[in-house]
Amino acid sequence: MKYTTLPKTDIKVSKICLGTMTWGNQNTQDEGFAQMDLALDNGINFFDTAELYPVPAEQKTYAETERIIGNWFEKTGNRDKVVLASKIAGTGDYTAHIRTNGFSKDALNDAVNNSLKRLKTDYIDLYQLHWPERQTNTFGVRDYNHITNDPWTDNFNEILHNLDDIIKSGKIRQVGISNEKAWGTMRYLEESKTNDLPRMVTIQNAYSLLNRVFEGDMAEVAIREDIGLLAYSPMAFGVLSGKYLNGKAPDNSRLKLFPRFARYSSDNCTEATKRYLKIAEDHNMTLAQMSLAFVTDRPFITSNIIGATSLEQLEENIESVNITLSDEILKAINEVHADIPNPAP
């Protein structure tokens, strides 16, 4: 395994992070336990979860993933071996069953306290805001269209003050953002610098061969401001395994169970995936490993969040950390990207 640190901290994390959002829906508790055991045995010390998980978010399964992780900590005593990240759910109809008061002081305290109980721990190493409260282009929306009646008012300073209180209580160590844009990221950083408030050390956004949107303004922000990307969906909902190219979704696959998750299922995504598969085959590697190796090696990446529904998938994904793509492969990848840029927003 390869390691780095969360930016501007001494918290050592593996370059591969274990994603957990299938546990409690696609995966059972026992399967989640097995994945955590395998990950830890292979040097992964960084786990990412959220109160929202598993997905899709439903009242009946709310926070089941955190409960599974907490039960594993209780069973194994491995809490001190793991850098644990979780998130407070953002606002909207999708999360109305969780709470409706955004990132207010009461909401943050409620979310943190209940996550700690479910996770059976006294602290969370990295606590993230799952998506912005304001209306902006997230989750596959390509362009920003300003909405004049957006009820949101600027509360970056207030949020950071409230997070500061929670940090001082010892319940969380560091903070981060997720599904943010350049403007929101810089506003948080500005408030931190100007008012000596906690600094967002990471941003968790989608990034893969099919979605390199982060390489626009956000890559410069990440590098110059030293805020590390935790890349999610590096396999594009499994599309970059190539398993959907025959037109059929395998049983228990995400797109078979949840066909509305169509972010990476356009014709352009399929065509790009075919071309990426050919590159991988020409260089004697799986498409999954090439896709993951590409993400892990980008200069703005702190950690690459991998998820799997089977131990076989997880082993293959972990092994990708040992692959370094040649200049020839990178050139071929960038030729596809030039022809079909960011088919998935």
Which residue has tokens 């409690």?
24
Q: At what angle do helices 105-119 and 64-76 cross, to 10 degrees?
A: 40
CA distance 158 to 31: 40
Annotated catalytic residue within 3, 53, 123, 264: 53
The span from the CA of 291 to the CA of 316, in Å, is 12
Can 276 be counted among the known catalytic residues?
A: no
Q: Provide the token pair at 330.
A: 């990178």
The alpha-carbon radius of gyration of the chain (Å, integer) is 19
8 Å CB contact between 227 and 189: yes
201: Cα separation from own chain's centroid: 14
- Cα 256 to the center of its chain, rounded Å: 22
Q: Please, are residues 167 and 173 in contact by the beta-carbon 8 Å criterion?
A: yes
Is residue 231 a contact partner of residue 295, using CB atoms and an 8 Å limit? yes
Catalytic residues: 53
